[in-house]
Structure 1
Amino acid sequence: MRLLPRLFMSAFALAAMLGSAHAQDTLYFSAIPDEDETRLAERFDKVADYLSEQLDVPVQFVPVKSYPAAVTAFRNDQVQLAWFGGLSGVQARLLVPEARAIAQGDEDQKFVSYFIANTDTGLTESADFPAAAKGMSFTFGAKTSTSGRLMPEFHIRQETGEAPEDFFDRVGFSGDHSQTLRLVASGAWQIGALNFAVYDQAVADGAPEIETAKVIWKTPPYPDYNWTIRGDVDARWGEGFADKVQAALIGMDDPDLLAAFPRTRFIAASNEDYAPIEKVGRELGLLE
């Protein structure tokens, strides 16, 4: 029986899955659930096929239900490779000795978050932080999202001198970027912060939400998403395997695969690239 490991399995089922994984030499990978689960599966099942062909080993995508679940799966060796956000990647590497970031999208060197507002607020786009948003309702994305929480909160504090809970009337967490867009567009929340790529894709797709949820401010750039691999993969799949995975990711040039992220290409990355994210994470108490 083919098993898909999930964090909500019983301990027995997890043990069975791990034993099966090692016996079949399957490389499992996951990704933070920053969008709808159906869309993620469509994206990453194709990536699994590509990696399997390039690496000459079975590769399987493992969906998880939350950002912390992706980190836990990586820590517990339920997955050996993961597409993380900046903060979740730092969290995972701190928990797994010798884990390293091996690739990032070209766009991830200078990522930005958009602050969007429902058109009924009367807020319009400006190069300056939207001080007129004081007293309105605001939603982040997932609690440990780099682009949906960490960097937006950092800039709220930096620009206003106040915690989000003090500057805004009400603060919440939508769970993912797509949901933030939907909630702001519907007026359930007046303002929200999300990954710029998700909003830009909604614009390209002509999504109806962009009619009532408009960009009002963009953060300064920061490093974000990354592919991170466990430090023990060479011992399991052979010397140089991590480098082979890195080469496969950097060599991914199929426009359909890249558009699924969406990224124009992948480039080499290192743990040191995410030192600024670790610093902010510690400042905000999101890292132990």
Structure 2
Amino acid sequence: LRRHLQIQLDKPVHFEVAGSYQAASNDVVSGASHLGLLPYNTLTNTLQSDPQLHVLAHEVVDGSEASDGYLVVARTTKANDVKELVGSTICYSDKLSSTGYKLPRGYLRRQGLDPDKDFVAHFSGDHQQVLRDIVEGVCTVGGTYAGNYSTATQAGIPVARLRILVPFTGSTPHDGWVASRTADPEMVASFTKALLDFQPARDIGRERLGEKKRITGYVEPEPEWLNPGD
């Protein structure tokens, strides 16, 4: 993607991985980064901090504009209902994650459970580590998203030792690109066009971008995506 963007913008493009979701959000709000790619819940929280930020585009993954959340357990876990797991440890990826925090907690509440009182929280740091922690017994259950689960084998995670307990905790748009207030408007317009025009087969010679993310394009955000409510 970086090479494609450099060609389209005719200037160098530097990608940097932030230390956390919050750090990525802070960098965009402060202007330390001109642009940021943020998970959906992080993005909406960032917009609450600075409503004037401009959301450019969201990822399309395998032709889908949204991702489903899962609750995953070890295959040896006997429970068939999340209520049977009360008192156990639940793994979250990050407090600013949608499928790794917000959706699992919302699902638990809809089942009449209190995620803070009925479970012990453990923060794994990222979605792949959530699955590793379940395999290793750090936690009994964990929240993640469909794309992470389906590609985990490629990251060396023994998915055969896992199973999906809850196949739908909710749905959320994929990660979105957002521009800082300090970003040059002309550059932002060119960057947005490059994203929305991106066709993997034509531009990088592959059907998808990334074996894990499997991006097939980008789409403009729907208004309701930016005002998700509670």
> Which segments of 5 or more consecutive residues in structure 2 lack a partner in the other structure?
201-205
Within the candidate set 99, 105, 118, 1:147 is matched to 99
Q: Residues 263 and 257 of structure 1: is their aligned pair in 2 closer, same or farther, counting only changes over 3 Å?
A: closer
SS of 2:79's partner is coil
For 2:114, the equivalent position in structure 1 comes to 163
Distance 2:207 2:16 in 1: 20
Offset of residue 68 of structure 1: 0.7
Q: Residue 103 of structure 2 contacts residue 170 of structure 2 at CA under 8 Å; is this kept in 1? A: no
Offset of residue 141 of structure 1: 1.0
Q: Which structure's relative contact order is higher, taking Cα pairs within 8 Å and 6+ residues apart? A: 2
Q: Residues 234 and 152 of structure 1: is their aligned pair in 2 closer, same or farther, counting only changes over 3 Å?
A: same
For 1:216, the equivalent position in structure 2 comes to 165
Residue identity over aligned pairs, in percent, reads: 21
CA distances 1:12-53 after superposition (whole Å, capped 9, x unpaired): xxxxxxxxxxxxxxxxxxxxxxxxxxxxxxxxxxx2222111
> Which segments of 5 or more consecutive residues in structure 1 lack a partner in the other structure?
1-46, 281-288
CA distances 1:44-100 after superposition (whole Å, capped 9, x unpaired): xxx222211111122101221111110111112111111111121122233345312
- Matching residue's letter, 2:166: W
Q: How many residues align?
A: 221
| RMSD between superposed Cα atoms in Å | 2.2
For 1:68, the equivalent position in structure 2 comes to 22
Within the candidate set 239, 259, 264, 2:210 is matched to 259
Q: Write the mapping of 1:1-288 to structure 2, written as runs, cut at 5 A.
A: 47-96=1-50, 98-107=52-61, 109-123=65-79, 130-160=82-112, 162-168=113-119, 170-203=120-153, 205=154, 207-218=156-167, 219-235=169-185, 238=186, 241-254=187-200, 255=206, 258-260=209-211, 261-270=213-222, 272-276=224-228, 279-280=229-230
Distance 2:56 2:38 in 1: 11
Greater C-alpha Rg: 1
Distance 2:137 2:189 in 1: 47
Distance 2:192 2:15 in 1: 17
Q: Residues 270 and 243 of structure 1: is their aligned pair in 2 closer, same or farther, counting only changes over 3 Å?
A: farther
CA distances 1:200-225 after superposition (whole Å, capped 9, x unpaired): 1124x384421222111122323342
Q: Residue 96 of structure 1 contacts residue 230 of structure 1 at CA under 8 Å; is this kept in 2? A: no
Relative to the length of structure 1, the TM-score reads 0.69
More strand by share: 2
